[in-house]
A and B are shown apart, each in its own frame.
Chain A
Amino acid sequence: MQSNFELSCKIARDAIAVPVIPLDTIRYEAQHRPSESAGRRRRGVLAAVVASLSIVAAAAAADIFGHVQISLNPSGTVHLYFDGGDRFRGPLLNPKQQDLEKAARAMNFAAILPKGLPKGTDAEGLMVLGPGAMQIAYNLPGAWRRSNHLLFVILANPKSVAPENAKPPKTKYTMEFGQTTGVGAVHWMVGQEEVIVLKSTITPSELAHFKTVMMAQAR
């Protein structure tokens, strides 16, 4: 017969609310963490991250603008196509403002850096995706976000963003990243720049504020 204690344990176990699995973080850490030992979670490092990243050898190079093409998928993820591995630099962890500005100056368009993100948001990683795009990984504030603090913002030359339903180019390297749940997966134009915000735990109001401030910068 089951004892009261045993029964209570079962009830207590089932009553534990399970958070959503932070699969993007797990995937990235599994693929990129250098040491086998499971050290403490390094939010700063993992934030640098592409939620899932795979570089796949493919066919020969094609002619794409700025050596990079960004393809937005209906699921909210993005594909990046490079015509050469040397076009990809990063991630630079915990970039300073001057690092972001330097990367922005190297773009082949007038890059406007993100502003208007929630107070307490830190830049955790920077990737230069060829002269046509750069990606900044942010660490959103707020304990309520639990393990899902990452926000990925891509600043791209509109010419490097593939039109909807475009066939993927045959390039040497492909990267795929982004979550499939959360708020985001939106893009808009600011001046000569395409701003792409991938899905994250950013709230609709935070996202709206971010967009408003960014739009104001272009005026």
Chain B
Amino acid sequence: MANPVSAELVDAARTGGRDEIEVLLRTVWPDAYRLARAILGEDQPAEDAAQEACIIVYRTVASLRNSAAFRTWFYRIVVREAADLKRRRLRAEPSAETPASVRDQTASIDVWRALSGLTDNLREVVVLHYFEDLSSPEIASVLGIPEGTVRFRLMIARRRLRPLLGEYSERFSESSGEAQTYAI
């Protein structure tokens, strides 16, 4: 769950000086990094993308008209920076495949493996929905796409994840002796 960013904090950053902006950045940095990490699947690129997003926030937060829109605005920047970074890396190393993600040792389902099997478009909506708890309208606003497209992508993503999750389901069922349903 993302850290809540109070409207007062955003207001202070919009109207205040360097100190207020930096307080805001310190607050949102974990969210920026985690979101970028979930999209990119690697640590260093995620840090680069989160850093770029924070630079943009630093420079432009004063022009944000509505403090309540900060969360969506901020996520949009992080997602865009992550996507840009990924594109640039692919251009620089077209044959390079995404390195194997770190397997999650704590979750019963290997989330990273599941995510790495999705295309960028699908991965973004899944991350925003399941990691960041964003609703379809919010995701639509972040990605700049219609709500219907968000729902469609989520549906496709679930279909693609189902075989993989099924595999886990069987393994989990064997070990626990219980039938598991993965309603994602």
Contact = CB atoms under 8 A, between A and B. Distances in A.
A167 interface: no
A5 B58 contact: no
A30 B55 CA distance: 5
B159 interface: no
A25 B29 CA distance: 13
B56 A38 contact: yes
A52 to B, nearest CB: 8
Contacts of A13: 1, 34, 38, 131
Interface stretch (B6-14, B64-72, B108-116, B137-145): B108-116
A30 B18 CA distance: 11
A27 B44 contact: no
Contacts of B84: 38
A40 B58 CA distance: 17
Contact of B54 (A6, A8, A9, A26): A26
A116 interface: no
A5 B88 contact: no
Nearest to A11: B107
Q: Interface size for chain A: under 10, 10 to 19, 20 to 34, or 35 or more residues?
A: 20 to 34
Nearest to A146: B47
Interface string B16-42: 001000100110011001100110000
Given A5-B161, A5-B182, A13-B38, A30 B58 contact: yes
B130 A5 contact: yes
Interface residues of B, number: 44
Contacts of B38: 12-13, 16
Contact of B104 (A15, A18, A21): A15
Given A6-B130, A16-B38, A26 B104 contact: no
Contacts of A54: 18
Given A38-B56, A41-B48, A10 B1 contact: yes
Nearest to A52: B18
A192 interface: no
Nearest to A20: B29
A27 B131 contact: no
B47 A147 contact: yes
A23 B81 contact: no
B77 to A, nearest CB: 8
B161 A21 contact: no
Interface string B41-81: 00110011001111110110000000000000000000001
A54 B34 CA distance: 31
A76 to B, nearest CB: 16
A4 B167 CA distance: 13
A179 to B, nearest CB: 13
A5 B55 contact: no
Q: Can you list the 7 inter-chain pairs with the closest CB atoms, starting with the nearest?
A: A30-B58, A8-B107, A9-B130, A5-B184, A12-B111, A8-B109, A21-B29
